Amino acid sequence: MSDWTIGIIGGSGLYAIDALEEAQWIKVNSPWGEPSDEILCGKIGHVRVRFLPRHGRGHPLIPSKVNARANIDALKRAGCTDVLAISAVGSLAEDLPPGRFVTVDQFIDNTKGRPSSFFDSGFVAHVSMGDPVCARLSKFAANAVETAGGDVTEGATYLAMEGPQFSTRAESRLYRHWGAEVIGMTGMPEARLAREAELPYALLAMVTDWDSWREGEAAVDVSVIIEQMQRNSELAKKAVEAFCKGLPKKRNPSPIDRALDDAVITAPEHHDKELMTKLDAVAGRLFRYQ
């Protein structure tokens, strides 16, 4: 086996990975609450894989009820070195039609009230989010889509909205004005939490619809989305397999592996012991020997 243990977060329409060998569902407990589901553990080629369906098998969870903290913490506890998230999105750009895949490189967070950090008073940390995804993983993901026979665009700004309703036409036009190119409901705070957990993270978005900004066209309809989502998910499964098989045997260190090195500013004498206990998987290396 290689040095990679890849966490795959499956979005809408992706609830299992057919290519997974020695597959076994394992429950991973988290002090941050219940993860979306058990984790499907196995391997693809030379890579260990930990698959977590973001909305749970059968899609019982609405976006605002997805416990992103528990999900990221559980993947970290399961030994993940890196995370590839798969998400269904709407398009806000003419050159990103339904059926196209996109590697996200920036986010605009327009969610409301979701817990967005593992850190709190008593253990304060501020990680850098200027470049919120891992460029190395994103490149591997884009190559995998091409290998699987899909069309892919590298680099787009993802607008994370609260949901579960779709955008009004006015909102859709506003998000385009902001510079957003795709829109979804789950990329944030997931990407923030992955960075706090020192997990290199990439988001591979599957375009299902045009959102609601195009003049003279019907607004977003969930039946159309589901139809496109089913087509996308078959390609996504092939892309995940190609992604894992395309990773080099040796995993070179990433700067994100040590994202917390200069992030914590709370003096040791003011550390909250209860919070530190909850942070054992996310940030335990910082205080393991204190």
Active site residues: 209, 211
Give the separation between CA 151 and CA 66, rounded to whole angstroms.
29
Q: Residue for token digits 């039946």? A: 223
H or E segment and range at residue 53: strand 47-53
Q: Under 8 Å CB-to-CB from 139, ≥6 apart: which residues?
A: 103, 154
Q: Is the dihedral of CA 139, 145, 151, 157 positive or negative?
A: negative
Residue 155 backbone class (left: φ over 0; alpha: ψ -120 to 50; beta: rest): left
Instruction: Give the three-state DSSP class for 77.
Output: helix
222, with CB counted inside 10 A (0-12, 13-18, 19+), is exposed
Cα(61)–Cα(64) distance, integer angstroms = 8
Place of tokens 């008593």: 122
